Structure 1
Amino acid sequence: MESKIMEQTYQQIANTLLNIIQEDWKQVLLYAEIREGYKKVYFYYYPESGGSPIYSLDIVEIYNMVESEYDRLENELYQNISRLHEEFLEQGQEKWTNLTYILENTGKLKINYGYDDLSQLSPVEKQEKWEAEYLTYDTGF
């Protein structure tokens, strides 16, 4: 069961991504992980013009974005992911450890929740595993 707060948070995540990405895009794939004392959020997007996916941390350099503006928007992403996680707990739903948020430029949204304990994997191992799963094949749209 999704609450109104969850739906609003999904939309706020999309709006923040729209503000960060500096060009037309086809698809955004965002990874988020939350556990006690640890939070991580990053994303890739596929430009409308084609080509390889663009990593979120490369946006500042590629598009000469003001770093403080990027940091502010990235902080919004972290806040929205945290709000979503808290709302899941308040709704009595199973506590997820990570999620993949896939947004199409048509507005279509798909979210995959993960429940595995990822604390034993390094951040690099987790990112490589996620990239292999989500950046190398059709995400189901």
Structure 2
Amino acid sequence: MEKEMNRLYREIAETVNEMIPEDWNKFYFYAQISENGGGTYFFYNTLENKQYKYSLEIPLKYQIDEDEFERKEDLLYKLSKELRNVFKENEQELWYSFTMSLESSGKFKLHYDYTNWFETEYSFSDQMIIWKYKYLGEISTDENYKALIDKYHNEFPNNPI
């Protein structure tokens, strides 16, 4: 199981690396997978610019071939689904999302979330706001965003996302 997981982590990291059109300092990859579908995205920064850039904006900003980029996005989803299936095949508790962070130095972290967000009132965009707050340190001055973060902390004090 561990060997297969390590292979998938490596393939995910290599694919994200191939999709980033510049030298990066750190990236955060997110996958949400269930029996009904899911999605993936990532954010990265550079040594020159600590602001995180969103993966879906890459083809527009850097004139990247959109079809090739989408093929790699599909591959990230497929690899993430394979990773979840490794858990299933080995009778491990199934996660609903995971976050991988990788620094250019090689420092690597993983976080699995077992909360079934599909069964909560949190929309995908709500989850992304919470995720960006937790991992990217993004703090909004918007009162609705602040209320969402407060609600999340009250309902999920162990901060699972």
Q: Quick check: TM above 0.5?
A: yes
- Map Cα deviations across residues 67-114 of structure 1 (whole Å, 9 max, x no partner): 011001111101110110000111222111111111111222110000
Q: How does 1:3-14 map to 2 (within 5 A)?
A: 3-14=2-13
Runs of 4 or more consecutive aligned structure 1 residues displaced over 2 Å after TM superposition: none
Q: How does 1:72-83 map to 2 (within 5 A)?
A: 72-83=71-82
State whether structure 2 residue 135 is matched by structure 1 residue 128.
Answer: no
Look up the match of 2:153: none
- Separation (CA, whole Å) in 2 of partners of 1:20 and 1:62: 13
Look up the match of 1:50: 49
Look up the match of 1:94: 93
TM-score, L = length of structure 1: 0.92
Which structure's residues are more often helix, by fraction? 2
Give the count of matched residue pairs.
Answer: 136
Question: 1:25·1:49 contact (CA, 8 Å) conserved in 2?
Answer: no
Look up the match of 1:27: 26
Matched residue type, 1:123: F
Matched residue type, 2:132: E
* CA positional deviation for 1:42: 0.6
Provide closer, same or farther for how the CA distance between residues 54 and 12 of structure 1 changes in structure 2, counting only shifts above 3 A: same
Look up the match of 2:109: 110
Query: Who wins on radius of gyration, i.e. which is larger?
Result: 2
CA RMSD of aligned residues (A): 1.2
- Residue 25 of structure 1 aligns to a residue whose secondary structure is coil
Gaps of 5+ in 2: 139-161
Matched residue type, 1:135: L
- Separation (CA, whole Å) in 2 of partners of 1:37 and 1:129: 22
* CA positional deviation for 1:65: 0.3
Question: 1:47·1:54 contact (CA, 8 Å) conserved in 2?
Answer: no
- Separation (CA, whole Å) in 1 of partners of 2:44 and 2:16: 10
Matched residue type, 2:47: E
- Map Cα deviations across residues 2-54 of structure 1 (whole Å, 9 max, x no partner): 52111100000011011100001111001111112121101100112223100
- Separation (CA, whole Å) in 1 of partners of 2:35 and 2:13: 25
Which structure's residues are more often strand, by fraction? 1
- Separation (CA, whole Å) in 1 of partners of 2:107 and 2:92: 23
Identity %: 34
Matched residue type, 1:125: D
Matched residue type, 2:62: Y
